[in-house]
Amino acid sequence: MDNKKINNKVVEKGIRELYQKDPIKADLEVFGRTTDPVSRRGFLTGLSAMGAALGAEVVFGRFMPSGLIPAAFASTTDDFKILGKHPGLVVLNDRPVNAEVPVHLLNELITPNNKLFVRNNGIPPEKVDLNNWTLTIDGESVKTSKTFTLAELKRKFKHYTYQLTLECGGNGRSEFNPPAKGNQWSTGAVSCAQWTGVRLKDVLEYCGINDDAVYIGYHSADAHLSGDPTKEAISRGVPMNKALENESLIAWAVNGEDIPMMNGYPLRLVFGGWPASTSGKWLTGISIRDRIHDGKKMTGKAYRTPCKPVDPGTKVADSDMCIIENMPVKSLVTFPKSGVRHQLKDKFIAKGHAWVGDKEVAKMHVSIDFGQTWQKVEISKPVNRNAWQHWEASLTFPQSGYYEVWAKATDSDGVSQPMVLPGWNPKGYLNNACHRIAVQVV
């Protein structure tokens, strides 16, 4: 491993960091594995070194893609804790606070409040006065601007509860190469909890929507990192067709309790299936726009990907970037924890979730031989639109050794997850590569 100095202290550079910097070089430096399977010598020597490090033969190692860090080593640790959150959350940043959930802690069918990931762009309000908290509906395309108190929202409109999948657009960013700037999420910036509130469309229609309405944009009470009260930390939105869907909520509760402060207490938007950045927290205002909303982090490269595929590392003009809407098909292995030891004679049970934007997951497959063969497994129907789905697999292994269980979901349009990485983009969004866990069979 490489070492580096931080504050005059020597700190080991982890294997994950080496693979992120240059995966092909890391294969050579860490395991001596070359990318030339034709010559076989360096390739097989590398596999032997990898097996020694893993403590077992990599049974289907000849199929393992080059430059791919073994799943057994692809874990991180947390440095400090967030009040009210599970101690296992991995904190990526403290200003603003951002934290993800290790995948093995996401096995519940409904994500509990203490395991909701945290993705903030500004500083949450220090004090919340429920009696004086208001929500204002305005904009160029509203017929009548109105301001509601929390009590009025709850009294005037029917309440609804939906289980909705929220995922950070940058979830999985740490796997891109060349690396993309931003929080280096692994795969735990996702949740699917039961949100309660009123339908956004009921509130907007109560105020009146003009025919020229195109978008909504939200406004929030979180402070800009600079402390400048004239600046918004983030102000994003969605097209009117998404805003008017039944499952689009103005929510005040999650899993039957007040929303945690770090997740938007006392009021937020919830748009399942779209980047979670559209689901504004600490909500104070919604503007009905006659144009695509142009608030903070709606322009430039923020939450956008190249409209057409580009080569890794390419500089892309802002005008060639398109706004992210539906999230791509994705799945996780949430049970067991990566690195588990398993008895060869026993059946191996794996479980997880799968989800996809505004569609459904139609098929689910798993592989134990790096994608050479795939076994179809059962997957449940979503409890409602925009909720994740659950799968379970029963597997057998041909011999003792090191294995990786890979998961692949296919959506209702026949689109499947890519094996390793989707198209590179400058901000590292929308990584829906197959998730995998390490298994030691003894």
Q: For residue range 344-385, list pLDDT tens digits in order.
A: 999 999 999 999 999 999 999 999 999 999 999 999 999 999
Q: Are residues 380 and 299 in the same domain?
A: no
Contact between residue 85 and residue 118 where contact means Cβ atoms under 8 Å apart: yes
Q: Are residues 307 and 339 in the same domain?
A: no
Give the pTM: 0.86
Q: Domain of residue 367: give its range.
A: 330-441
CATH number of the domain where residue 383 is located: 2.60.40.650
Using CA atoms, how far apart are residues 161 and 326, in angstroms rounded to an integer?
21
Mean pLDDT of 409-436: 96
Q: Prior bond to 418 cis, omega within 30?
A: no
Residue 415: is its pLDDT beyond 70?
yes
Using CA atoms, how far apart are residues 144 and 290, in angstroms rounded to an integer?
15
Q: Convert the pLDDT of each residue in 220-238 to its tens digit.
A: 999 999 989 999 999 999 9
Q: Convert the pLDDT of each residue in 334-347 to its tens digit.
A: 999 999 999 999 99
Mean pLDDT of 17-21: 68
Residue 64: is its pLDDT beyond 70?
yes
**Domain tally, the chain:** 2
Contact between residue 294 and residue 316 where contact means Cβ atoms under 8 Å apart: no
Question: Which of 288, 323, 358 is the last residue before a domain boundary?
Answer: 323
The CA-atom distances, in angstroms, between 338 and each of 104, 135, 194, 415 are: 8, 44, 27, 26
Q: Are residues 317 and 352 in the same domain?
A: no
Q: Are residues 305 and 215 in the same domain?
A: yes
Please state, for a pLDDT cut of 70, what percent of the chain lies above it: 88
DSSP string, 362-398: EEEEEESSTTSS-EEEEEPPPSSTT--EEEEEEE--S
Domain-embedded: residue 18: no
SS3 330: strand
Question: Which of 306, 323, 340 is the last residue before a domain boundary?
Answer: 323
Using CA atoms, how far apart are residues 69 and 31, in angstroms rounded to an integer?
10
Q: Are residues 203 and 310 in the same domain?
A: yes
